[in-house]
Amino acid sequence: MDLPHGLVTVYLLLVSLAQCQHYYLLRPIPSDTLPLLELKEDPDPIYDPRERDLNETELRSALGDFDSRFLSVSPPQDRYTGNEDLEELDLQQQNPTGMMPKDIKNLDFDAQWGKKRKASKKLKRRLQMWLWSYSFCPVLYAWNDLGARFWPRFVRAGSCYSKRSCSVPEGMVCKPAKSTHITLLRWRCVQRRGALKCAWIPVQYPIITECKCSCAN
């Protein structure tokens, strides 16, 4: 006896996604250095910059490019930028951006049961959009306070949504896939000839810019 067309289509869809060797495995592998580990700082205030070391005009000149999208001198009014505390329902309602992945676009939704039944364009589009939305991994941004030994001390860092699996069946998770680097100033102190010498030095700080649904290994 033939199964209903919709059930057969969903069954074949789940089978086609069951193996981890799907298109997600071909996506960029995230770096083990993201997200950053929490810095271990010496709590002794002797290593903190003094008020005269925090001249904003001089620091801006030393820093050069100041990207206000990711950097802030003062505490931002909203720590979270609108998507840090997303619930699962909110995430599912978000529309993916960019081009639909080719492997989702080219999936065969036609049911093969006795004789081949061709899925309607409307059903195919709905299944494509559902799968794309479910596997969508947005970057969640939040402002982090790095402390007084960084300038600017507030950085808008990204993370990947991790409250649920992003695959059907479950097993794959959202992981960092791409990142960029911004320049900060780091207050560094060293002992030289019995005296403490301190200065601002430029350092590179990585920011997650893209998350992908990847195998959880």
Sequential DSSP letters for 113-142: ESEEEPPPHHHHHHHHHHHHHHT--PEEEE
Answer yes or no: is 31 within a domain: no
The long-range contacts involving 88-92, CB below 8 angstroms and separated by at least 24 positions, are 88/163, 88/164, 91/136, 91/138, 91/161, 92/133, 92/134
CATH for 69: 2.10.90.10
Q: Cα separation of 115 and 2, whole Å?
A: 10
Give me the amino acid identity at 100.
M
- Chain centre distance of CA 144: 15
Would you state the structure tokens that stand for residue 193, as one six-digit string? 């000839």
Answer yes or no: is 167 within a domain: yes
Backbone angles phi, psi at 116, to 5 degrees: -70, 130
Answer yes or no: is 21 within a domain: no
Q: Cα separation of 12 and 83, whole Å?
A: 33
Closest C-alpha among 127, 134, 106, 168 to residue 5: 127
pLDDT top residue among 70 and 37: 70
The set of residues, in sequence order, having a beta carbon less than 8 Å from that of 52 and lying 6+ positions away, is none
Answer yes or no: is 90 within a domain: yes
Q: What is the pLDDT of residue 6?
A: 45
Q: What is the pLDDT of residue 23?
A: 34
Answer yes or no: is 126 within a domain: no
Answer yes or no: is 7 within a domain: no
Mean pLDDT, the chain, rounded, equals 76
Give mean pLDDT, residues 123-129.
84
Question: If residue 187 lies in a helix (H) or strand (E), which one and from where to where?
Answer: strand 172-192
Q: Is the pLDDT of residue 115 over 50?
A: yes
Answer yes or no: is 32 within a domain: no
Q: CB 10: neighbour CB atoms within 10 A?
A: 15
By residue range, what is the domain housing residue 62?
44-74+85-94+138-215
Give mean pLDDT, residues 117-145.
84
Answer yes or no: is 16 within a domain: no
Give mean pLDDT, residues 131-147.
88
Q: What is the pLDDT of residue 7?
A: 38
Specify the number of domains making up the chain.
1
52-56, 74-78, 167-171 — most confident range: 52-56
